[in-house]
Copies of this chain bind each other. A is one copy, B any other.
Amino acid sequence: MTESAFLKTLNGEVVRPAPVWLMRQAGRYLPEYRATRAEAGGFLDLCFNPALATEVTLQPLRRYGFDAAILFSDILVIPLALGQNVWFEEGEGPRLTPVTTEAELDALSLEGFEERLGPVFEAIRRIKAAAPETPLIGFAGAPWTLATYMINGRGSTDHAVAKLFALEKPDLFRRMIDLLTTAASRFLIAQRAAGVDAVKLFDSWAGAAWPSLFETACQRPATAVRDALDQSAPGTPLIAFPRGAGAALASYAAEVRPAGLAVDSATDLAWAARVVDTACALQGNLDPIFLRGPLDALDRELSRIRAAMDGRPHILNLGHGITPQSKPEVVAHLVERWRSG
């Protein structure tokens, strides 16, 4: 099998047209996803049903022929597999029984961790069997982002509860981050063993951390995950995504040394190209709003991204997750336009 454009890029090669896939390419904007989702029952039922998780992972590939597939799952399967109570309220997002005391943290356990995630690995095997030529990306939530949900018990806009917890219970917070670093590492290593070709670490709320918290709760754990992969699954390309890192993206990239760095929509790719090592592939960073707007605006933005990434290993993607309001026909235009480029 010839190595794919996606894996070549993560290996530091400049491939043109640059490979393209989208964050949450399997999502509510696709009617076929909504149909399978309805069949599954709850959202977590879909994540833990290997047949249906395989189906929704493959749907966007059939429709658009993306250069990579990403496992359909959710970042909160880690706290779930550690023993925390996690559920989804329809239309409202995730809910967790908060972990804020030593006893509650002690109750979480890595015993049987991989066993509880068995259906995820089974989905990986099925996806690889069904689409062996397409690189498959596994993923995990990063420790800080997971901690914000685990402490607060739900999403939040200011992350005040988790931030206050980090200040008031620094030892407990450190233990939680350490536990999640181990959990994320083991989860990614096991996904690799099950067959994924690359892995991505999502630190969606990195931008909520003040600089010293970013260093200890985002950058250092990501480095530890990278080290664990190097040791136990050498050669696994890691894409790191510290969303909202701003100028700290430079130090993060230098310290974590991922094969790929996902760049959020607010960050100028030309700046990222200047400050990040040329061997590191940059991924991104179209604002998801362009998938809801006029085609001429999208075309201009793609030209800007293309120009900024001239001569760089680059993977076209969004700089934030796709929204349910995205228009399927605009996604089709994006792929076609990018490749005809």
The docked-state distance in angstroms from the alpha carbon of A149 to that of B158 is 19
Contact A268 B248 (CB under 8 A): yes
Contact B265 A247 (CB under 8 A): no
Residue among A160, A167, A207, A304 having the largest count of chain B Cβ atoms under 10 Å = A167
Contact A287 B210 (CB under 8 A): yes
The interface size of chain A toward B, counting residues with CB under 8 Å, comes to 42
Contact A268 B301 (CB under 8 A): no
The docked-state distance in angstroms from the alpha carbon of A275 to that of B271 is 13
Report which of B157, B212, B246 forms a contact with A157, defined as CB distance below 8 A.
B157
Binds B, one of A44-52, A112-120, A291-299: A291-299
Q: CB-CB contacts of A311-341 with B at 8 A, as 1s and 0s?
A: 0000000010001010000000000000000
Taken together, the copies of this chain in the complex come to: 2
Q: Chain B's nearest CB lies how many Å from the CB of A326?
A: 11
Known: A210-B265, A247-B247, A301-B212. A167 touches B290 (CB 8 A): yes
Q: What B residues does A304 contact at CB under 8 A?
A: 211-212
Q: What B residues does A319 contact at CB under 8 A?
A: 210
- Chain A interface SS verdict (over half): helix
The docked-state distance in angstroms from the alpha carbon of A248 to that of B287 is 16
Report which of B210, B212, B250, B267 forms a contact with A211, defined as CB distance below 8 A.
B267
Contact A323 B266 (CB under 8 A): no
A249 in contact (CB, < 8 A): yes
Q: What B residues does A172 contact at CB under 8 A?
A: none
Q: Chain B's nearest CB lies how many Å from the CB of A312?
A: 16
A168 in contact (CB, < 8 A): yes
Segment 192-251 of A: residues with Cβ below 8 Å from B: 207-212, 214, 244-250
Q: What B residues does A214 contact at CB under 8 A?
A: 266
Contact A289 B211 (CB under 8 A): no
The docked-state distance in angstroms from the alpha carbon of A245 to that of B244 is 10
Q: Which residues of A contact B (CB under 8 A)?
A: 157-158, 160, 163-164, 167-168, 170, 207-212, 214, 244-250, 265-269, 271-272, 275, 287, 289-290, 292-294, 297, 301, 304, 319, 323, 325
What are 29 A-B residue pairs whose CB atoms fall within 8 Å in the complex? A157-B157, A158-B323, A160-B323, A163-B287, A164-B292, A167-B289, A167-B290, A167-B293, A167-B294, A168-B294, A170-B297, A207-B207, A207-B244, A210-B266, A210-B287, A244-B246, A246-B247, A246-B249, A246-B267, A247-B247, A247-B249, A247-B250, A247-B267, A247-B268, A247-B271, A247-B272, A248-B266, A248-B268, A248-B271
